[in-house]
A and B are shown apart, each in its own frame.
Chain A
Amino acid sequence: MANGSTSHYPAAPAAQGIESHTLCVLVDNEPGVLARVIGLFSGRGYNIDSLTVSETEHEKHLSRITIVTRGTPMVIEQIKNQLERLVPIHRVIDMTVSGPAIQRELAMVKVRGKGDDRVEALRLADAFRARVIDAGPESFVFEITGASDKIESFVALMLPIGLVEVSRTGVVAIQRGPEGM
């Protein structure tokens, strides 16, 4: 509502800065665990910009979920606390504040074109260290890994050449240095 401050319910917080954070979440790999995490985000109105999940330690039945989310500092703190209190969740690390971390995603980019366009596409792919993983007389599929903004630049450059579609994994992240999560 427009004038939240005059309601008995707490007013919407004054426009605080919105931050993007990358969270790594270690969970028991059991049925429904992803539904719990996603249900938490949808139920409490948090944003998910990117989500990846896969089993990472088979013997211990542990999966690692990487979530990129946005919110005010208070909301980000709530998200972490709410995640941590879910029973099958072991740890939550905020990669954005816990020290230097590396964030990567993988994308497959399909481009259609002939003649000069093909040459230009290959030249750009080379500059971005993207690999050709499928080629036909009229198309390429490139595989590219890197930080999200690098992938976005690459995709933007392919658009005028003949971008057909993009498939992205979403972000995965790991901390630099010898320590594990």
Chain B
Amino acid sequence: MTTKKAAVSALGREMTGAEMVIEALADQGVEHIFGYPGGAVLPIYDALFQQSNRLQHILVRHEQGAVHAAEGYARSTGKVGCVLVTSGPGATNAVTGLTDALCDSIPIVCITGQVPTHLIGNDAFQECDTVGITRPCTKYNYLVKNIADLPGVLHEAFHVAKSGRPGPVVVDIPKDIQFAKGLYAKPKEIAHKGYQPKLKGDLERIKAAIEMMRHAKRPLFYTGGGIINSGPKASELLRELVKLTGFPITSTLMGLGAFPASDQRWLGMLGMHGTWEANWAMHDCDLMICIGARFDDRITGRLDAFAPHSRKIHVDIDPSSINKNVKVDLPIVGDCTHVLEDMVRLWRAGSGATEKKALADWWQQIEKWRARKSLAYRNTPDLIKPQYAIQRLYELTKRRDVYITTEVGQHQMWAAQFFHFEEPHRWMTSGGLGTMGYGLPAAVGVQLAHPDALVIDIAGEASVQMTMQEMSTAVQYRLPIKIFILNNQYMGMVRQWQELLHGGRYAESYSHSLPDFVKLAEAYHAVGIRCDKPGELDAAIREMIGVKKPVIFDCVVDPDENCFPMIPSGRAHNEMILGDAAESIDEAVTEAGKVMV
């Protein structure tokens, strides 16, 4: 979109559009940009070449990798991730990453080159309708047809990407606009006429929420990615509120780390592969306090059986997240930090929970659920169990400055269950879109932002092959990422569903003709390690940690292991199945449940 909001001060400096891109990025505090060159962005690459090291460009090996790297960078720092790609195939290759960022609310600014304005619509070489293609997979996008608009659009793009519910923004810049000269002005306070996200929650409603909390007998905090989006302050306030109230707390996949996993009040993750205690507490609670989570279908299961006896409070910055899947009793539109601040203050001002006895009974019930040890699994002496591998990885790295990314599948769920997080921004995973191939490039982005940290991609042997070429990026920029592959020789998550739902007919889910991952690592001038014996695992993990180069760790695990607990198709929270109950799964899954999986 061209826009008239782009008022440029007459005092601005004259420069080309391409130079403006560099200026604007620098003024927005961008230090790293992930990209890939091509004809329609050559003027910007030329300007990059001539600038004096204000920006470092990271050359990826595929544009999808550029966006995932920017996502990892953004999620681990709280900053906006930046991408630069060419027109046509450059832009279409970025679409998966943009959609991923939209689903998981990650702030991204992606600059795409476009054919010159006079050729737009002419089927010119490497032309595609970038704004048309990316309209449904971005928070907003712009096509800049006038050089005078460019500085304002660039600054506004950052504002839109990071404010409110964050998301990806595309700025499509035709090549003639990159060459054109105009006046550049520094960013000013941006007050968009229409777009003004509400930060402060309605005080009367927050008071009502506190009232409900004081009278609850079986309360539960259900928190999500919104706490992470809101910044570290939100996590601090959440910890305070949980401490003050003494209520139990669970979180979605996207919210892990906002509350310390070592705390007694933490029930673990909820949802399809959540813990017994978290899901039962959701089912039986009488007050659900949802903060920055969106009642995703992996959480609610069967809607008509979802937390049937509860009243619900929902805090969210995006009104469209409220009452979308589940009707709540008290919606509060606002930013987590702001609302939590008010909640903590108001709770303090009052006289604490009035239902102490009820709360104690509730905790007793929860401890009974917890005693089932729903994550338990049976170790074997000769085969590495994937859960064991994650447990050892956690134990051997927990005292370090560690960041975890994942691919998508069983390994992702085991990572969520067995790797415990004490801090926000340490856990990068593709939740909403579930994009295989996310983890490796995301690790590249995280490592760039945190050069001295230990960055590990917990991967599956199938997923990691989708973006494996970014190993070359990691080697080029000396980013010592660790790719820890739980190699079960299957698209395990698919195999698990086929076992449970499709009579064990494993159609196309076997990982055929796998490369030798050790040799593959060596081919990339990285280090390869293989381990297939439980007894040798610790030493191998230690070796991996010690290597100051990128490592591919081929951890050969039990190919038949399934991920439990699991809420099977067609069932409600309280009908979850555990590992020990594996024999009864077949009858737990109904015919009709197969259809929508």
Contacts and interface: CB of A to CB of B under 8 A. Distances in A.
Given A8-B568, A81-B320, 12 more contacts: A4-B596, A5-B302, A7-B570, A7-B595, A7-B597, A8-B302, A8-B567, A9-B297, A28-B3, A31-B1, A35-B135, A78-B324
Contact of B139 (A9, A35, A87): A87
**Top 4 A-B pairs ranked by shortest CB distance?**
A81-B320, A6-B570, A7-B596, A10-B303
B297 A35 contact: no
B570 A8 contact: yes
7 contacts: A6-B569, A7-B592, A8-B568, A39-B136, A77-B323, A78-B323, A88-B1
B507 to A, nearest CB: 20
B123 interface: no
Interface in B317-333: 318-320, 322-325, 327
Contacts of A32: 1, 131, 135, 143
B159 to A, nearest CB: 10
B160 interface: yes
B120 to A, nearest CB: 11
A78 to B, nearest CB: 6
A30 to B, nearest CB: 5
Nearest to A4: B596
Contacts of A14: 304
B193 interface: yes
Contacts of B194: 27-28, 87-90
A112 to B, nearest CB: 41
A36 B138 CA distance: 11
A1 interface: yes
A11 B320 contact: no
B300 interface: yes
Nearest to A26: B194
Contacts of B597: 7-8
Given A28-B194, A32-B135, A85 B592 contact: no
A88 B192 CA distance: 9
A2 B136 CA distance: 29
Interface of B: 1-4, 131-132, 135-136, 139-140, 143, 160, 165, 192-195, 272, 297, 300-304, 318-320, 322-325, 327, 567-571, 590, 592-593, 595-597
B193 A31 contact: no
Given A5-B302, A6-B590, A87-B194, A35 B132 contact: yes
Given A28-B194, A30-B1, A8 B323 contact: no
A52 interface: no
B327 A74 contact: yes
Given A1-B596, A7-B595, A7-B596, A84 B319 contact: yes
A136 interface: no
A3 interface: yes
Which of B300, B301, B320, B568 has the most chain A CB atoms inside 10 A of its CB?
Answer: B320
Contacts of A56: none
Given A87-B195, A89-B194, A8 B592 contact: no
Which of A2, A84, A85 has the most chain B CB atoms inside 10 A of its CB?
Answer: A85
Contacts of B160: 87
B193 A28 contact: yes
Given A84-B319, A88-B1, A8 B301 contact: yes
A115 interface: no
Contacts of A27: 194
Nearest to A27: B194
Given A1-B592, A31-B2, A74-B327, A11 B303 contact: yes
Which of A2, A6, A35, A74 has the most chain B CB atoms inside 10 A of its CB?
Answer: A6
Nearest to B597: A8
A180 B556 CA distance: 68
B592 A6 contact: yes
B320 A85 contact: yes
A163 B273 CA distance: 62
Contact of A7 (B2, B195, B324, B569): B569
A10 B302 contact: yes
A1 B594 CA distance: 11
A10 B595 contact: no
A36 B135 contact: yes
A35 B136 CA distance: 10
A27 B194 CA distance: 8
A61 interface: yes
A82 B320 contact: yes
A181 to B, nearest CB: 13
A87 to B, nearest CB: 4
A43 interface: yes
B319 A81 contact: yes
Nearest to A90: B194
Contacts of B136: 39, 43
Contacts of A7: 569-570, 592-593, 595-597
Contact of B4 (A9, A61, A81, A87): A61
Interface in A71-113: 74, 77-78, 81-82, 84-85, 87-90
Nearest to A14: B304
B143 A31 contact: yes
Contact of A74 (B319, B323, B593): B323
A117 to B, nearest CB: 48
Contacts of B318: 81, 85
B156 to A, nearest CB: 9
Given A6-B593, A7-B593, A8-B596, A85 B319 contact: yes
A141 B548 CA distance: 83
A2 B571 CA distance: 16
A88 to B, nearest CB: 6
B592 A2 contact: yes
A38 to B, nearest CB: 10
Contacts of A33: 1
A82 B571 CA distance: 30
A57 to B, nearest CB: 12
Contacts of B570: 6-8
A74 B3 CA distance: 34
